[in-house]
Amino acid sequence: MSRKVIYGVFEDEEILLASAKALRSKGVRIKDVFSPFPIHGLDPVIGIKPTKLSNFAFFYGMFGTSFAIWMTWYMMVHDWQMNVGGKPSFTWLQNFPAFIPPTFELTVFCAAHGMVLSYLLVNKLYPGRSPHNPDLRSTDDKFIMEIQTSENGKIAEDLIVSTLKSTGAIEINHKDLN
């Protein structure tokens, strides 16, 4: 069986959303949607799971907190005790209010940078990567829905195309992956 991709091109995000709902109700799986801006309420319709990025952010933040605690302890208490402003650092706990700002900053720093890097890695966005956008008009004023026939083995291609047409796609393009 040949692997084909069907691209439905839409002029309006609301029409695309309605079309996606109609397709999903017929059991069609939608691979992805390319849009110039985020479409409100689309994710659950096309079956995209909520992101786990926030869970990662929590652990990056925890790492930042732990790292800051270790760093301030190592620098200010363990390796070379420093007497700053009449506050000798004999133990970390005695001086910890002074270490709150760096702890806060490192928590934010690690959470923010960790999130950005994870996002780029998970989405395979790195310098030199060739663009994977199927249709450059999706960066301007068109909304493009991508459906792979291999994911919809039991559903006839004609049904997908006719549903797309009847629900308002202004243009339907095909591409063979083989």
Using CB under 8 A as the criterion, which residues of the chain lie in contact with another protein when the complex forms? 40-41, 54, 58, 85-87, 97-98, 100-101
**Collapsed DSSP state (helix, strand, coil) of residue 41:** coil
Pairing of strands 83-84, 87-88: antiparallel
The DSSP result for 148-178, as a single string, is EGGGGTTS-HHHHHHHHHHTT-SEEEEEE--
Residue type, 154: K
Query: 98 or 161, CB closer to another protein?
Result: 98
Question: Residue 100 Cβ, how far from another protein at the closest point, in Å?
Answer: 6
Query: 41 or 47, CB closer to another protein?
Result: 41
What phi and psi values does residue 155 have, to the nearest 5 degrees? Answer: -100, 130
Question: Residue 50 Cβ, how far from another protein at the closest point, in Å?
Answer: 8
**Collapsed DSSP state (helix, strand, coil) of residue 7:** strand
Query: 8 or 64, CB closer to another protein?
Result: 64
Query: 84 or 170, CB closer to another protein?
Result: 84
Question: Residue 99 Cβ, how far from another protein at the closest point, in Å?
Answer: 10
CA-CA-CA-CA dihedral for 74, 110, 121, 59, to nearest 10: 90
Q: Which of 146, 152, 155, 174 is nearest to 29 (CA)?
A: 152
Question: Residue 15 Cβ, how far from another protein at the closest point, in Å?
Answer: 19
Query: 65 or 148, CB closer to another protein?
Result: 65
Question: Residue 66 Cβ, how far from another protein at the closest point, in Å?
Answer: 16
